[in-house]
A and B are shown apart, each in its own frame.
Chain A
Amino acid sequence: MPPDASFDVFTCLDGVRRHDAESARALVEHLFPLVIKIVRSYRSRRLAEEDLAQEIFLKMFTRLEQYHGRNGVPFEHWLSRIAVTTCLDGLRAEKRRPEYRWADLSDGEREWVEFWAAKESVPLPTDAIGAREAVGKLLALLSPEDRLVITLLDLEERTLAEIGTLTGWGISRIKVRAFRARQKLRKHALKMQKESKL
C-alpha cells in the first residue's frame, strides 16, 4: 500500500510531542511501509523484521526532539537514516556471516548463480523468486557496509548524493566500496559455482 500523500506529518509530530497516542499510532501506520522496506533490504538473520521495525520506531519517538525540520530535511529522510543505521548495527552485531553452499540453494537460485558466474553466453533464468532469494543470499555473504552500499545503490536505486546523506560517506568512498563489493559478489558466485562441479 503506497503511503498517503495527503497525510500531514508535521501535525502528527506536534501530537506526538504532546504524547498523544492517537497521533503516534497514525504516524507509525503511515511510516510503516517506508521502514519495513528498509528492514527487508537489510534484515539481520538474528532479528525478526517486526522486532527491528519496532526498535526503529521506538528510536524515532525517543529521539524526536533531535528533529527540527530545519534546512528542509523531510521527516522521512531523517527516519530513513535511523532505520539504516539500526539495521547496520544489527548486521554488525552478528559475529559470523552465513556460509551458503551449493547444496543450500534451490534450483531457481542455482540458475541465477550460474548465470552470474558464467563468462560465456548463458540463457537468462526466468525464476523471479529464485532471483530474489539468490540476491539475498549473495548479499548476506558481504560485510554490513558492502551490503549497505549495494542495497542502496543497486536494489533501491538511490543516487550517490542520497547515499551520502544517509550514510555520511563521501561520493568517492561510495563508488570505491560499490566497485569492490560487486567484485566480492562475483567471487562468491564463482566459488559457489565451482562447488557444483566437485
Chain B
Amino acid sequence: MNEFDRRWKMGIAARDDAGQAPESAPFGFATRVVADWLEMARAEPSFATLWQALAVRLLGMLTMLLAVLVAYDALTSPRPTLLQPEIENAVADAVCFL
C-alpha cells in the first residue's frame, strides 16, 4: 500500500465517524412506491410492452416453422437432375426456330 492509499483509507475511516442521516423510509414513501407499482401493474399493456413480451417467442416460432418447411421441402421434392427434359426441349425448339 503506497502513501496515498494509506492516507485515503484514513480519510474514509474519518468519514465513517461522521454518521449518516436516519435510514428508515420517510413517511409515506412505501405507500407511494406501492401505489405506483400497482397502477403500473393494472395499466393496460401497451403495444410496446406486448411486443417486448412476445417478440422473442414469435421469432422462435417463426424459426421453427421455417425449419419444418425446409425439412419438408428437402424430403419431398425430387432430386434435381443436371438437365431437365423440359428445358432441353425448349432449347432444341429455340435452336430449330432460329
Contacts and interface: CB of A to CB of B under 8 A. Distances in A.
Interface string B1-38: 00111011111101101111011111001111110111
Chain B interface category by residue count: 20 to 34
A129 B18 contact: yes
Contacts, number: 97
Contacts of A61: 37, 41
A126 B11 CA distance: 9
Contacts of A50: 26, 29
Given A29-B24, A32-B25, A112 B11 contact: yes
Given A50-B29, A128-B17, A131-B15, 5 more contacts: A21-B34, A24-B37, A32-B23, A50-B26, A128-B15
Interface of A: 1, 19, 21, 24-26, 28-29, 32-33, 36-37, 40, 50, 53-54, 57-58, 61-62, 112, 115-116, 119, 124-129, 131-132, 134-135, 154-155, 182, 185-186, 189
Interface of B: 3-5, 7-12, 14-15, 17-20, 22-26, 29-34, 36-38, 40-41
10 contacts: A21-B38, A24-B38, A25-B30, A25-B34, A32-B30, A53-B29, A54-B33, A58-B36, A128-B19, A182-B5
